[in-house]
Amino acid sequence: MAKRAFISVGHGGDDPGAVANGFKEKDINLVIALSCRDELVRHGVEVLMSRETDVRVLDAVKRCNAFKPDRAIDIHINAGGGDGVEIFYHYLGGASKTLAQLVIDSIVKETGQNSRGVKAKRNSQGKDYYAFIRETAAPAIIVECAFIDNKKDIAIVDTAAEQKLMGVAIAKGVLKDLGIPYKAPVKVEQAPTAKPEVKEEPKTEAPAKKPTPAPAPAPVAPAAKPATKPAPKAGDAVKLNKGKLYTTARGSVAVTRTGTFYLYDGVAVNGRYRVTNAKNRVGKTPIVLNVSGWVKM
């Protein structure tokens, strides 16, 4: 049976999270989380995210517990002028602490980020301070990747490429905790296309006399062409009634959705099309903040 992971994406919608140095925490969180999801899915892990677009989610823990994952990760960007990555785990330790240590080790190794260590934080009742860790049934952690209000520290994730690398680093730690060996992506190199050989037709002498051409046949009316369905295009509405919304173009992981979505760009990949949940998001960039998933048509 496939392993499962839940990824909670901090903030979203009208809640930007921490804001500094021209960045909003909610945007960085989402790019990191989507990259983490893609890497886990590539290794056969079933993943559910709290959000895949810029929306505010208030029931992440409820959705997480209903999904019954093996591990749960909440992704954030820190604030307060500090430096480095820190990860919070359940105050009782156990599998939550093991997961936290493996993930922070992977982040430090893959990105070069400084480590502030793994920690537990309790409230006044002696329970976990953070609801995501306190109320989630699965072993859960909160990853604070960097400090948004420290120019030097936020430089570790100030580009999309660096944010994606952070997501991969988190995924590698999760995979190690789940006992799944990491497999490097396979680079497919295309062989150069050979140019077709053009052969010259042999020259022939013109005939002494041209034969009399046969009479032309009577014209035949062309057969009526069957009506063709117009090709899908950006902005076309797609209605789902408990239909599948895939997380990737080729993967099997999908969630059930009911509602109206819109083709993001009308480009098919493996028979699937990217969709967005609002018409005013069609074609908008960056893609990771505007695409809800993939549908098969």
Higher pLDDT, 280 or 293: 280
Q: Does domain 4-178 have CATH number 3.40.630.40?
A: yes
Average pLDDT of the chain to the nearest whole number: 89
Q: Are 15 and 26 in contact (CB under 8 A)?
A: yes
pLDDT digits (tens, 9 = 90+) for 207-240: 566 666 666 666 666 666 666 778 899 999 999 9
pLDDT digits (tens, 9 = 90+) for 159-217: 999 999 999 999 999 999 999 999 998 876 666 666 666 666 666 665 566 666 666 66
Distance linking the first and last C-alpha atoms of the chain: 28
Q: What is the pLDDT of residue 200?
A: 63
Mean pLDDT value of segment 49-69 = 96
pTM equals: 0.66
In this predicted structure, the answer to whether residue 50 has a pLDDT above a threshold of 70 is yes
Kindly give the residue spans of alpha helices, DSSP state H, lying in the chain: 25-42, 60-67, 94-111, 131-135, 151-154, 160-178, 287-290
C-alpha neighbours within 13 Å on the C-beta side of residue 252? 5
Q: What is the pLDDT of residue 197?
A: 66
Higher pLDDT, 46 or 201: 46
pLDDT band at 35 (very low <50, low <70, confident <90, very high): very high
Q: What is the pLDDT of residue 208?
A: 60
In this predicted structure, the answer to whether residue 72 has a pLDDT above a threshold of 80 is yes
Mean pLDDT value of segment 104-131 = 97
Reduce the DSSP state of residue 4 to 3 states and report it: strand
Higher pLDDT, 122 or 215: 122
Mean pLDDT value of segment 234-261 = 84
- Phi and psi angles of residue 287, each rounded to the nearest 5 degrees, phi first: -55, -45
Q: How far apart are CA 246 and CA 101, in angstroms?
A: 31
Nearest to 133 by CA among 123, 141, 143, 122: 141
pLDDT band at 266 (very low <50, low <70, confident <90, very high): confident
pLDDT band at 110 (very low <50, low <70, confident <90, very high): very high
Instruction: Give the β-pairing of 115-119 and 85-89.
Output: parallel
Q: What is the pLDDT of residue 219?
A: 67
In this predicted structure, the answer to whether residue 251 has a pLDDT above a threshold of 90 is no
Listed in sequence order, the residues at least 6 apart from 55 whose beta carbon sits closer than 8 Å to its beta carbon are: 12, 13
Start-end of CATH 3.40.630.40 domains in the chain? 4-178
